[in-house]
A and B are shown apart, each in its own frame.
Chain A
């Protein structure tokens, strides 16, 4: 990946409408959040001006251009730090493994592009670019490349030809001509024949994974042989390691928040046991879903779909890890936890997985599955299920709805085709309503934590902003119901739950009095 600094020295100039910094930010966002690179056309020595097609702003450029350009360079810098941050916020994007990465000190210019020098006319050639294709800006002197999607160039930039003082909008994608914009001090339009861009309309439906080629693995034939070296990686994928991590996190916090004394050995055994049970559940789930997973871009790269492991291997892994996990819970922790774990494993694999094709109820069942791990943690600590355990389970249960409903919102085409009876497809209005409803219930449950003696009142106070923002995003999703609001809500839920559990952990009622198990009741009484 290429980072550009001091592009002014390359006679390349990216200028903004308002504040230079903010637009640079926007441009970087568009430049770098790209998963793939396809077309490299090139532009050299243009001035790109961030713009929106209004007359007022055009006039503001004229003064911009009339300044000698070299006065302003220092403020326009793109730093690696900012790039990294931006990439991190873009969840779906993958880093392109483009071989164009060159060391910044490399003095040798890239000689890929052949320049055309012509004295008679402005030599502009027709370039066919797909909307989604990438245009690479090539800085000749520093031999660096940046990539922008063609549509972003078209939407956000103008072409200013300094020599003629002409300015061209590139904003109409489907048009064959670049529209000419009147520019201060200029009266002569360039003949349109010399400046031409055609943009193709997007091709086939990319929701079908078979036509959406994203990596080399989507076109190659592969030998199915046993690869011991990659086994750990495959097991991680098979057990959906990130999901398992989240499950274990909720269990750990359940253990921590519970009013019992803290035994490190029990804590570790409980976490490991829960993790293994979760791994088993995810493996069995994938074993059952191979043809369904093949149908969706989100799941098409799972190990069993790609044939990296055989179905038998997956089931074997599930049997072993569930046996080990449940026995750890049974013998190392207590039977209540093991029972909950076994129940949850069954609920997930035997009830939730098939229910996805049978009824809309599946979301509620799935939420129940998500609610049990914190109860397991609680029960591991105290040996039984007090009201606090149910409260914690309730919080996790309610959290699932904004989380999952927002996620499933953008996957409606996929779910419809693959036959999943998800709420977002079957009843979109209900989907939004339920998500919002549970945002409020979640807020109420967090407020109820203190009166129930689970946490101090501090939790009620500091969880409130978090929950209010969740409610706000839930409300936005309910009102608008577009892909943007659902994505925002989904992303926030990912931050929300660890943050909430952390806040709950630091303000638990029995904090600092780990040995006094009876502390719960007096404290709640003293507060009320």
Chain B
């Protein structure tokens, strides 16, 4: 009789950070189930070697800014070098601003939740969206000046990089043209 209620277990170790690898492993498992050979696909968050272009990475877990690994061509001109260094500098500036800003946001949010939460019926701590929106507003207002400065600075940096970018694009295009001809 008991055979009718077989409840089985699939052995899966599951962690947040590896959720993607896991997902793929699962899919492979099903797709290859016809042959019953489970396969695993692994993705390592490291830039591959030996590329001849710039590499753009996954977003940073705190700042959400994507890192870039710049490719240095063997016959790099000064204009190219200046542009590359400038880009790296701006990227670093963005990274540090948002890393600092976001960690501050999550820290203050946690603190706010800790100090304002009330126990609900089940004894579980809870905080309604209305109460949280108070925090969102105050955080936004507190950081108004910082954001205005950042915005102004970012506009300047972003626009000032357009002209060097154009110069570099022309240089690269010429180089490509020379190679092919």
Q: A223 contacts which of B1, B51, B101 (Cβ < 8 Å)?
A: B51
Known A100-B30, A116-B6; contact A291-B94, beta-carbon cutoff 8 A: yes
Asked if B45 and A291 sit within 8 Å, CB to CB, the answer is no
Asked if A208 and B106 sit within 8 Å, CB to CB, the answer is yes
Asked if A221 and B47 sit within 8 Å, CB to CB, the answer is yes
Interface centre among B38, B137, B155, B161 (most CB of A within 10 A): B137
Please encode chain A, from 1 to 39, with 1 for each CB lying within 8 Å of some chain B CB and 0 for all others: 000000000010000000000000000000000001111
Asked if A41 and B161 sit within 8 Å, CB to CB, the answer is no
Asked if B136 and A413 sit within 8 Å, CB to CB, the answer is yes
Complex Cα gap A36–B133 (Å): 29
Complex Cα gap A421–B151 (Å): 13
Interface centre among A99, A118, A126 (most CB of B within 10 A): A99
Give the distance to chain A from B99, nearest Cβ to Cβ, in Å: 10
Known A45-B4, A113-B8; contact A221-B162, beta-carbon cutoff 8 A: no
Cβ–Cβ < 8 Å partners of B154 in chain A: 291
Cβ–Cβ < 8 Å partners of A419 in chain B: 101, 140, 143, 147, 150-151
Is the C-beta of B2 less than 8 angstroms from some C-beta in chain A? yes
Cβ–Cβ < 8 Å partners of A39 in chain B: 12, 14
Please report which residues of chain A, range 332-384, place their CB below 8 angstroms from some CB of chain B when the two chains form the complex: 354, 357-358
Please report which residues of chain B, range 66-90, place their CB below 8 angstroms from some CB of chain A when the two chains form the complex: 66, 68-69
Q: A294 contacts which of B8, B20, B51, B65 (Cβ < 8 Å)?
A: B65
Asked if B130 and A481 sit within 8 Å, CB to CB, the answer is yes
Known A38-B23, A222-B55; contact A412-B133, beta-carbon cutoff 8 A: yes
Is the C-beta of B117 less than 8 angstroms from some C-beta in chain A? no
Known A223-B55, A311-B162; contact A115-B147, beta-carbon cutoff 8 A: no
Asked if B8 and A125 sit within 8 Å, CB to CB, the answer is yes
Chain A interface: which size bin? 35 or more
Known A163-B2, A210-B59, A300-B59; contact A224-B53, beta-carbon cutoff 8 A: yes
Known A40-B12, A288-B158; contact A210-B63, beta-carbon cutoff 8 A: yes
Is the C-beta of A306 less than 8 angstroms from some C-beta in chain B? yes
Is the C-beta of A524 less than 8 angstroms from some C-beta in chain B? no
Known A38-B14, A311-B161; contact A221-B58, beta-carbon cutoff 8 A: yes
Is the C-beta of B171 less than 8 angstroms from some C-beta in chain A? no
Asked if B102 and A417 sit within 8 Å, CB to CB, the answer is yes
Give the distance to chain B from A37, nearest Cβ to Cβ, in Å: 7
Q: A113 contacts which of B10, B31, B45 (Cβ < 8 Å)?
A: B10
Is the C-beta of A191 less than 8 angstroms from some C-beta in chain B? no
Is the C-beta of A448 less than 8 angstroms from some C-beta in chain B? no
Cβ–Cβ < 8 Å partners of B140 in chain A: 415-416, 419, 421, 425-426
Give the distance to chain B from A198, nearest Cβ to Cβ, in Å: 13
Asked if A216 and B43 sit within 8 Å, CB to CB, the answer is yes
Complex Cα gap A124–B148 (Å): 59
Residues of B in contact (CB 8 Å), total: 82
Complex Cα gap A415–B144 (Å): 12
Name the prevailing secondary structure of the A interface residues: loop
Known A123-B6, A209-B59, A312-B165; contact A223-B105, beta-carbon cutoff 8 A: no
Complex Cα gap A45–B8 (Å): 11
Give the distance to chain B from A142, nearest Cβ to Cβ, in Å: 14
Asked if B62 and A224 sit within 8 Å, CB to CB, the answer is no
Complex Cα gap A217–B120 (Å): 40
Give the distance to chain B from A218, nearest Cβ to Cβ, in Å: 6
Cβ–Cβ < 8 Å partners of A525 in chain B: none
Please encode chain A, from 110 to 131, with 1 for each CB lying within 8 Å of some chain B CB and 0 for all others: 1111111111001111111010
In the complex formed, the residue of A with least CB distance to B172 is A226
Known A40-B10, A163-B4, A425-B137; contact A218-B94, beta-carbon cutoff 8 A: no
Cβ–Cβ < 8 Å partners of B58 in chain A: 218-221
Known A311-B158, A421-B140; contact A221-B55, beta-carbon cutoff 8 A: yes
Q: B129 contacts which of A224, A305, A483 (Cβ < 8 Å)?
A: A483
In the complex formed, the residue of A with least CB distance to B63 is A210
Is the C-beta of B60 less than 8 angstroms from some C-beta in chain A? yes
Cβ–Cβ < 8 Å partners of B155 in chain A: 288, 354
Complex Cα gap A279–B31 (Å): 41
Cβ–Cβ < 8 Å partners of B102 in chain A: 208, 295, 417
Asked if B33 and A112 sit within 8 Å, CB to CB, the answer is yes
Cβ–Cβ < 8 Å partners of A204 in chain B: 16
Asked if B165 and A310 sit within 8 Å, CB to CB, the answer is yes
Asked if B8 and A116 sit within 8 Å, CB to CB, the answer is yes
Asked if B137 and A416 sit within 8 Å, CB to CB, the answer is yes
Cβ–Cβ < 8 Å partners of B5 in chain A: 45-46, 122, 161-163
Is the C-beta of B36 less than 8 angstroms from some C-beta in chain A? yes
Give the distance to chain B from A525, nearest Cβ to Cβ, in Å: 52
Asked if A300 and B8 sit within 8 Å, CB to CB, the answer is no
In the complex formed, the residue of A with least CB distance to B54 is A224
Asked if B33 and A37 sit within 8 Å, CB to CB, the answer is no
For this complex, 25 residue pairs linking A to B, each with C-beta atoms less than 8 Å apart, are A37-B23, A42-B8, A99-B31, A112-B10, A112-B29, A113-B8, A116-B6, A117-B6, A122-B7, A124-B7, A145-B30, A163-B5, A174-B124, A210-B61, A216-B24, A219-B20, A221-B45, A221-B57, A288-B158, A291-B98, A306-B56, A306-B66, A425-B137, A428-B137, A481-B130
Shortest Cβ-Cβ A-B pairs, 7 listed = A99-B31, A416-B136, A419-B147, A307-B56, A100-B30, A125-B9, A210-B61
5 extra A-B contacts, CB within 8 A, seeds A99-B31, A428-B130 = A37-B27, A98-B27, A113-B8, A122-B7, A218-B59
Q: Which residues of A come within 8 Å of B, CB atoms?
A: 11, 36-46, 98-100, 108, 110-119, 122-128, 130, 133, 145, 161-163, 174, 203-205, 208-211, 213, 216, 218-225, 287-288, 290-291, 294-295, 300, 305-307, 310-312, 315, 354, 357-358, 412-413, 415-417, 419, 421, 425-428, 481-483
